[in-house]
C-alpha cells in the first residue's frame, strides 16, 4: 500500500492478482482501479504482482514501477521490473505503456523478494529472493552468494539515465556489463548493491537518516533483520541469521559476513515481515523504533536500536492476522496489511501515549515556565543562558532558560550535561523581533524526555500548544512548528537529549538582566551549586568558537558549526548509519568524512564526490546537502531555509584544506 508523492490523501493498494486499486481518505467505503496488469502477471504460490513504487517526481515524471512475476513461455518464473505511465495527469496508469526494464529467471515460484522503492539517493532499489529451491542449487554456495546472478540480492539501478536503466557508479561492481536474465557463467552483476539474502520480505528506508532496514525470512531456526549497506554480504546460505547453515559448502569458510541487527527464534514467529522506523506525529515513546511483524504468527514488535546489552524485540501486539506488509504514509504514520486468499484488510496503527503522570497545558501561561501575568517573561527561578555556537533556525533570534527541581543537580559527562528528572529547558524564537514560538524540552519524572511547542498569538499575550506539528506563513517565510516526535529526532539520546547546555557551549560571558552583572556562565552555574561536582576554572575548560566571529580561527569556527548543527546525530552511538563523527574535538582524520565517498548518492557531482573533499567544497556532499531543502537536505527536518552564511563558512574552510591531516 503506497501513496504518490505530494498526495497525502490517496492510497494505492497492490493486489497479488495484478490489480492496483486506489481510494481516498482513511475511512473510504469504495475504491477504483488505478491500473489492471492481470494480462501481464503470472499468479502462483508466492508469485504475482508484488511491489510498486512511484517515481519521486510523479506525476511530472509519469512513471510508476512494478515488480511482478511475468507471464511467458516455458517453466521459468520470470521476475520482472517494468515501468507503467500515466496518461491522465496521475489519476490512473495505462497498462499499454508498460516498458520492461529488467528480467530475472527463477527456478521456482517462491522466494521472489518482491519489494522495490526509491532510496534517498534517487536510485531504484529492488529486493530479490534466492529464487526458491536454492538450498541445493548447483550444489554450490547457492544463489545468495553467487555474484553471477541477481537472485538473492538487493539491486540498485538508475532509471533516470539511459534506457532501460543505468548502473549507479557507486554500486560495488559498477564497471561490469549488465546481467542477463539467466545470470552469467563468469563476471559479477553490476546491478548488485548487497547480497546473501534468502527472501528479503519487505524493507524500508528510515526517512530521517536513510538507513535501509530489511527483514530476511529464515529457513528453519530463526528470522533476521539487517541494516543493508553497499557491498554487504548477509550470509545466506552459508548462514541462517547468526548460525552456520551450510558451513562445509565451498566458499563459505573464508567469507566475511555482515551481522544481523537482531534475530528472533521460531517460538516468536516464523516469517518476518519487515517494517519501518516510526517517524510519525503521534505522541509515543516508540518514535525512532523499528516496527515490524511476523506473517505466520501475527505479532507486531518494536526494536530499540539505541539500547545496549543483550536484548530482544519488544512485543507490542498479538494479532490473528497474516501481516504481509506494512505501509508508511507521506506523513510518517504506519499501517499494517493482512493478507487473505479472499479479501484482506488494511489497519491503521495507533500508539498509546506515554504515561508521564500528567498532561501538558494548552496555554504557555499555564505551564509554570512563564510569568502568567506577562507570559513573554520567564517565570521566577528559571535561569537564562546563551551558547557560543547556535543551531541554525531559519534566521530566528533565540532566548534560552533552564530549570531544575529544588535540590537536584546536573551531572557532567565528558562535557555533555545530564539533567535530572523534572528538568525543563525553554527556548523562544523571534522573527523581526516578534515572538513566533516557544519550545519546552522536559525530562519527565519517569526519566523519559518530551518536546512541546507553543505558537504565539498575534497580540503577543500568550501561546497555544500545537499537537502533531504545523507549518505557518510568518513574515514572508514558512515556519515549522515541530511535532513531539520531531523534537526527539534531533535531541538524540546519544547527545544526551539536551543539546545546547554543554560545557564548551556555555564557556562564555553572559550579562544577567535581573542583576545587570556580567560573568562567565560556567563559573556562575557552578557557584550556585547546579553541578554534582564543582567545575574547574573555566579557563581550563574547552570553549566552542562562535561561527560568525571573524576574529576566531577558521578551523575552530567551521568545527563549531558542524558540532552544533550536525553532531547530535553524526557521532558514535548516533542514529545514522554513516559512521561520521562531527563533534568539534574529533580530529579531522578521525571524522570519517575527509576523502570519504558518499553512500547515499553523489547529488550530481559524479565520481569526484566526497563527504569532504579537501580543497574542493564544490565536490563536498556535506556542503551540498546543507545548501538544499529537498529530500536530500541536511538537516532532514525542521528547516525551510538554508543557511547561506553557514554554507559559505564551510566552503571557505574546505577550500582551504590541503589534506585530511589536522591543520593542513
From the list 272, 253, 249, 245, the residue with the least C-alpha distance to 261 is 272
* Structural domain contains residue 458: yes
The answer to pTM > 0.75 is no
Strand intervals (E) in 305-409:
314-318, 323-328, 334-338, 345-348, 370-371, 374-378, 383-385, 397-403
Residue 536 CA to residue 544 CA, distance in Å, equals 17
**pLDDT computed for residue 135 by the predictor:** 52
The Cα-based distances of 284 to 278, 328, 453 in angstroms read 10, 17, 16
Are 333 and 398 members of one domain? no
Domain boundary among 513, 540, 567: 540
Q: DSSP string covering 540-604, please?
A: GS--PPPTT-TTS-HHHHHHHHHHHHHTTTSSTT-S-SS-----TTS-GGGSS-BTPPPSS--TT
Are 431 and 472 members of one domain? yes
Domain boundary among 323, 352, 381: 352
Are 578 and 636 members of one domain? yes
Beta strand 94-104 with 78-85 is antiparallel
Whether residue 499 contacts residue 473, with contact meaning beta carbons closer than 8 Å, is answered with: no
Q: Does residue 494 sit in helix, strand or coil?
A: coil
* Structural domain contains residue 389: yes
Residue 121 CA to residue 126 CA, distance in Å, equals 14
Are 323 and 392 members of one domain? no
- DSSP letter for 624, please: H
**pLDDT computed for residue 447 by the predictor:** 84
Q: How many CA atoms lie within 13 A of 61 on its CB side?
A: 15
Domain count, the chain: 3
* Structural domain contains residue 521: yes
**pLDDT computed for residue 599 by the predictor:** 75
Residue 533 CA to residue 526 CA, distance in Å, equals 8
Are 534 and 580 members of one domain? no
Are 462 and 369 members of one domain? yes
From the list 132, 237, 125, the residue with the least C-alpha distance to 191 is 125
Residues of the chain with confidence (pLDDT) below 50:
134, 136-139
The Cα-based distances of 13 to 51, 326, 327 in angstroms read 10, 12, 10
* Structural domain contains residue 448: yes
Whole domain around residue 574: which residue ranges? 554-655
Cell readout for 77 is 518464473
Are 521 and 382 members of one domain? yes
Are 534 and 558 members of one domain? no
Are 387 and 516 members of one domain? yes
The Cα-based distances of 192 to 195, 233, 421, 511, 642 in angstroms read 7, 11, 49, 59, 35
Whether residue 301 contacts residue 313, with contact meaning beta carbons closer than 8 Å, is answered with: yes
The enclosing H or E element of 67 equals strand 63-70
* Structural domain contains residue 626: yes
Domain boundary among 312, 332, 352: 352
Cell readout for 142 is 547457492
Are 595 and 642 members of one domain? yes
From the list 242, 279, 274, the residue with the least C-alpha distance to 257 is 242
* Structural domain contains residue 170: no
Are 487 and 441 members of one domain? yes
* Structural domain contains residue 261: no
From the number of C-beta atoms within 10 Å of its C-beta (0-12, 13-18, 19+), residue 170 rates as buried
* Structural domain contains residue 650: yes
Are 429 and 487 members of one domain? yes
Residue 445 CA to residue 32 CA, distance in Å, equals 50
Amino acid at each position: 500500500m503506497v501513496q504518490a508523492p505530494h498526495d497525502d490523501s490517496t492510497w494505492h493498494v497492490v493486489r497479488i492478482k495484478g490489480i492496483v486499486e486506489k481510494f481516498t481518505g482513511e475511512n473510504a467505503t469504495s475504491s477504483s482501479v488505478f491500473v489492471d496488469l492481470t494480462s501481464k502477471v503470472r499468479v502462483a504460490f508466492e508469485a504475482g504482482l508484488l511491489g510498486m513504487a512511484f517515481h519521486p517526481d510523479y506525476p511530472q515524471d509519469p512513471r510508476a514501477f512494478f515488480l511482478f512475476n511475468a507471464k511467458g513461455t516455458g517453466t521459468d518464473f520470470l521476475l520482472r521490473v517494468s515501468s507503467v505511465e500515466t496518461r491522465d495527469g496521475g489519476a490512473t496508469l495505462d497498462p499499454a505503456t508498460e516498458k520492461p526494464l529488467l528480467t530475472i529467471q527463477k527456478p521456482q515460484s517462491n522466494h521472489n523478494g518482491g519489494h522495490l522503492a526509491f532510496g534517498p539517493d534517487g536510485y531504484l532499489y529492488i529486493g530479490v529472493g534466492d529464487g526458491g529451491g536454492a538450498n541445493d542449487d548447483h550444489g554450490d554456495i547457492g544463489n545468495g552468494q553467487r555474484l553471477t546472478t541477481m537472485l538473492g540480492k538487493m539491486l540498485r539501478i538508475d532509471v533516470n539515465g539511459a534506457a532501460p536503466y543505468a548502473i549507479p557508479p557507486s554500486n560495488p561492481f559498477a564497471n561490469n556489463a549488465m546481467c542477463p536474465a539467466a545470470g552469467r557463467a563468469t563476471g559479477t552483476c553490476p546491478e548488485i548493491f548487497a547480497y546473501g539474502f534468502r527472501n528479503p520480505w519487505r524493507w524500508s528506508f528510515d526517512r530521517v537518516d536513510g538507513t535501509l532496514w530489511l527483514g530476511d525470512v529464515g529457513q528453519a531456526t530463526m528470522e533476521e533483520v539487517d541494516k543493508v549497506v553497499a557491498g554487504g554480504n548477509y550470509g545466506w546460505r552459508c548462514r541462517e541469521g547468526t548460525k552456520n547453515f551450510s558451513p562445509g559448502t565451498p566458499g563459505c569458510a573464508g567469507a566475511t559476513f555482515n551481522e544481523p541487527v537482531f534475530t528472533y527464534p521460531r517460538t516468536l514467529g516464523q516469517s518476518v515481515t519487515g517494517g519501518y522506523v516510526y517517524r510519525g506525529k503521534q505522541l509515543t515513546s516508540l518514535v525512532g523504533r523499528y516496527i515490524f511483524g511476523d506473517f505466520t504468527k501475527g505479532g507486531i514488535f518494536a526494536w530499540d536500536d539505541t539500547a545496549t546489552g543483550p536484548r530482544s524485540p519488544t512485543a507490542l501486539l498479538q494479532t490473528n492476522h497474516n501481516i504481509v506488509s506494512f505501509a508508511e504514509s507521506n506523513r510518517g504514520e504506519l499501517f499494517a496489511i493482512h493478507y487473505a486468499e479472499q479479501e484482506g484488510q488494511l489497519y491503521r496503527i495507533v500508539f498509546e501515549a506515554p504515561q508521564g503522570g500528567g498532561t501538558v497545558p494548552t496555554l504557555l501561561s499555564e505551564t509554570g515556565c512563564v510569568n502568567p501575568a506577562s507570559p513573554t517573561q520567564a517565570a521566577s527561578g528559571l535561569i537564562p543562558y546563551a551558547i557560543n555556537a547556535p543551531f541554525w533556525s531559519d534566521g530566528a533570534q533565540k532566548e534560552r532558560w533552564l530549570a531544575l527541581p529544588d535540590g537536584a543537580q546536573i551531572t557532567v559527562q565528558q562535557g555533555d550535561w545530564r539533567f535530572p528528572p523534572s528538568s525543563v529547558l525553554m527556548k523562544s524564537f523571534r522573527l523581526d523581533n516578534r515572538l513566533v514560538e516557544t519550545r519546552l524540552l522536559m525530562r519527565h519524572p519517569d526519566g523519559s524526555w518530551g518536546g512541546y511547542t507553543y505558537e504565539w498569538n498575534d497580540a503577543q499575550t500568550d501561546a497555544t500548544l500545537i499537537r502533531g506539528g504545523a507549518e505557518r506563513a510568518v513574515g514572508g517565510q514558512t515556519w515549522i512548528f515541530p511535532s513531539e516526535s520531531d523534537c526527539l529526532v534531533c535531541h538524540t539520546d546519544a547527545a544526551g537529549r539536551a543539546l545546547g547546555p554543554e560545557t564548551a557551549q556555555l564557556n562564555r560571558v553572559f550579562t544577567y538582566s535581573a542583576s545587570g552583572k556580567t560573568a562567565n556562565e560556567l563559573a556562575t552555574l557552578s557557584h550556585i551549586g547546579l553541578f554534582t561536582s564543582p567545575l574547574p576554572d573555566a579557563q581550563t575548560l574547552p570553549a566552542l568558537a562562535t561561527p560568525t566571529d571573524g576574529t576566531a580561527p577558521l578551523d575552530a569556527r567551521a568545527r563549531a558549526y558542524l558540532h552544533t548543527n550536525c553532531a547530535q546525530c553524526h557521532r558514535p552511538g548516533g542514529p545514522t548509519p554513516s559512521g561520521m563523527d562531527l563533534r568539534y574535538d574529533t580530529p579531522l582524520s578521525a571524522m570519517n568524512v575527509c576523502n570519504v565517498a558518499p553512500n547515499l548518492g553523489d547529488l550530481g557531482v559524479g565520481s569526484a564526490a566526497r563527504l569532504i573533499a579537501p580543497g574542493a567544497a564544490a565536490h563536498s556532499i556535506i556542503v551540498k546537502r546543507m545548501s538544499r531543502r529537498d529530500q536530500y537536505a541536511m538537516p532532514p527536518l525542521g528547516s525551510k531555509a538554508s543557511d547561506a552564511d553557514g554554507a559559505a563558512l564551510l566552503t571557505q574552510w574546505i577550500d582551504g584544506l590541503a589534506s585530511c591531516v589536522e591543520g593542513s
